Structure 1
Amino acid sequence: MKQKTGDPKQRLLETATALFYKQGYHATGINQVIQEADVARASLYTHYASKEALLAAFLEHRHQYWFSRLREATERANTPRKKILAAFDFLQAMNEQEDFRGCAFLNILSELSEKEAEALAIIRDHKKELKSYLGDILNGQPASLKTQVYLLFESAMVESQLFRDQWPVLEAKKIISNLLPK
């Protein structure tokens, strides 16, 4: 069993991260988070003003985690082509590691309404940063190619979750390989 940290705020965030990603935001009750984090209700509200604030913290935490892993995967490669292909290898690795659970941001997005403006803004910012990151790798290439790479990356992530299989990532990677300059 995983050893829990002594910091109640960190335990709340770690617990919410696991539950929101696995079960979804609306399916996870605040009482479950409190119980599984093994903290008092007052601790929750000392560190997070509401369930929505905990959601925002989860999304920010996931953003940092996910992007650090993506950067780690792509920065090992030494050419733009290899970096983009490494991004698709990263998707495959995440599928294996996270049992094809898919994009935490899109999973949460499917549960939100316009009333959850802070969470929606974090999700939009995450996707904008991803598009920018992939585009920056392809510096000097046409904007249309940068957009195609981003859209193929996103669709591969969603479709691999839907089918619980790597074939969408592998097919997108083949398409990208043909689109990118040698």
Structure 2
Amino acid sequence: MRNMTVRESILKTAARLFYQQGYSNTGINQVIEQEDIAKSSLYQHFKSKEDLLLAYLHLTGAETLARLKEASEHGGSPKQKVLAIFDYLASSVTNESFHGCHFLNIVYELPHDASRVRQQVKLQKESVRDLFRHILGPLENEALASEIYTLFEGALIGHKVHNDSWPVWAARAVVEKLL
């Protein structure tokens, strides 16, 4: 395994802190301290805290989409692929290191005018919706893909509110009936 670059190491630390304690509660000085680097090193790679956040969201979006695609490969039919994604989600929310959806957590914290960050969150969310469209393509029902995407997002929100897996299982049951 190759060594991480300074940029990758900073991003990894910031990602962990943003996810565990939130964007607003994570200061640049905390990242610098945990990385044991000079402030100039951080700013050499990221011009602002928002740029660091955008890099985190971009990286996490790619990782999340890859995991969802991988989960879908456990199914053969479109229905089985979609249900496999919900099974993956159900498994994820029971993991003690799961603190909710990275993207929803961030969007809840930010003011409405944080347009660059909101755009990055929207891109990630659209990639998940596109995954459902792709999987359900053979059914030629784009509206159904959007409905299932909405159930997926609702399951994430329900889990965050209730701190329980039942919203994911309830959404999965609805998906199974729809398909």
1:97 counterpart SS class: coil
Partner of 1:127: 125
Partner of 1:95: 93
- 8 A contact 1:100–1:165 mirrored in 2: no
- 8 A contact 2:57–2:103 mirrored in 1: yes
- 8 A contact 1:100–1:160 mirrored in 2: no
- Larger displacement relative to structure 2 (40-49 or 139-148): 139-148
Q: Mind listing any 5+ residue stretches in structure 1 that lack a counterpart?
A: none
- The Cα RMSD (Å) is 1.5
- Larger displacement relative to structure 2 (132-141 or 29-38): 132-141
Q: Mind listing any 5+ residue stretches in structure 2 that lack a counterpart?
A: none
2:176 counterpart SS class: helix
Partner of 2:74: 76
Rounded Cα–Cα distance in structure 1 between residues aligned with 2:51 and 2:160: 27
Identity, % of aligned positions: 38
Residue 99 to residue 133, structure 1, CA distance change in 2 (3 Å):
same
2:76 counterpart SS class: coil
Matched AA of 1:10: E
Give the alignment's TM-score, normalised by structure 2. 0.92
Partner of 2:171: 172
1:15 counterpart SS class: helix
Rounded Cα–Cα distance in structure 1 between residues aligned with 2:16 and 2:73: 27
Shift of 1:6: 5.3
Rounded Cα–Cα distance in structure 1 between residues aligned with 2:55 and 2:61: 10
**Structure 2 counterparts to residues 136-175 of structure 1, below 5 A:** 136-139=134-137, 140-175=139-174
Matched AA of 1:168: P
Shift of 1:141: 3.7
Matched AA of 1:172: A
Instruction: Count residues with an aligned counterpart.
Output: 176
Give the alignment's TM-score, normalised by structure 1. 0.91
